[in-house]
Amino acid sequence: MKSIYGYTREKLQDFLQALGQKKFRGTQIYEWIYKRWATSFSEMTNINKDSLDELDKNFVFKFLEIETVQISSDGTRKYLFRLDDNNFIETVLMRHNYGYSICVSSQVGCNMGCSFCASGLNKRQRNLETHEMVLQVLQVNNLLREEAIKVSHIVIMGIGEPFDNYDNVVDFIKIVNDPKGLEIGARHITVSTCGIVPKIYEFSELSLQVNLAISLHFPNDELRSKHMPINKAYGIDKLMEALNYYYQKTNRRITFEYILLDGINDTIEIAAQLVKLIRGVNCYVNLIPMNATSGPLRRSTKKATDSFYNYLVKNGINVTLRHEHGHDIDAACGQLRIKREESKCEGKS
């Protein structure tokens, strides 16, 4: 049986109609599970018994098991969820002056192999199903109810490459954005990709007004191909062509994520290349201090970071320096999961 949390409202309505149910049942079910927090069909008092029996035959309510929670001094919370197949994923809740954002994982592991990312240290085991992404938000939201707060923003930047799990990610966005669902505004949702060009074109055709972030990190093909294997398939020229098409179709500003690596991509010479690459693009650059992993790469010094930032500003580039969250816990994406996987293996030896 399928998880009820894995269906967009449209797909649920179609499924119910195929079972001989009325289309409006889909909206009723959505209101019960996302507005009234129902966790069984028996709670849905405005649905007749025959319909409830039919629903019980086809759908299940399953939830993620919280394996570990780490809480930072700044209020950031990192959840390690255990899935039904005993794999693990991470979800991070961050507190901002504008609300609470949640960083959602889209895969178990990652095949992109970026040199600076802990997520790729373990290869992709599988894609997450739509309901496994929805439940990351729903269950954290449920925990926040006790504090009279809720998730206001979603970033799909956790473990995995979202556009490598494209269909499930798009359904996830539709569910959390649905006014009868979790009702997160489209402009409060951001999806990040390292640059799977065909999916950028496909994403451009959607009516969803969500934000697009590009994990750029390097402004030339030599460095980007060395540290981000995706660039060997889709070089910077192809990426920029796709982003120009995206902007022409959506008129949405693009975010370029740029992690600063000591002595590699943080020099003024590299900053000049970045300015040349993105000048004239409706965008802003989000400079990211690197969270330490077990690899040889190190974060840029404060001096190099400040110089890089100031150079972009002086050359008319909109730029922000990301405020660090959870630096005193396993901050790097995928780090907590890797530790748990390693301890699981040690337990078997």
Q: How many CA atoms lie within 13 A of 81 on its CB side?
A: 27
* Per-residue CA distances from 173 to 25, 53, 86, 170, 262 (Å): 21, 29, 25, 5, 35
Nearest Cα neighbor of 329 from 77, 151, 66 is 77
Catalytic residues: 90, 333
Q: Evaluate whether 64 touches 114 at the Cβ level (below 8 Å).
A: no
Nearest Cα neighbor of 282 from 308, 332, 247, 257 is 247
**Rounded to whole angstroms, how far apart are CA atoms 102 and 92?**
6
Phi/psi of residue 161, nearest 5 degrees: -105, 110
Sign of CA dihedral 175, 179, 183, 188: positive
Q: How many CA atoms lie within 13 A of 259 on its CB side?
A: 21
Q: Where are the beta strands (DSSP E) in 18-149?
A: 59-60, 65-71, 77-82, 88-96, 99-103, 107-108, 126-127
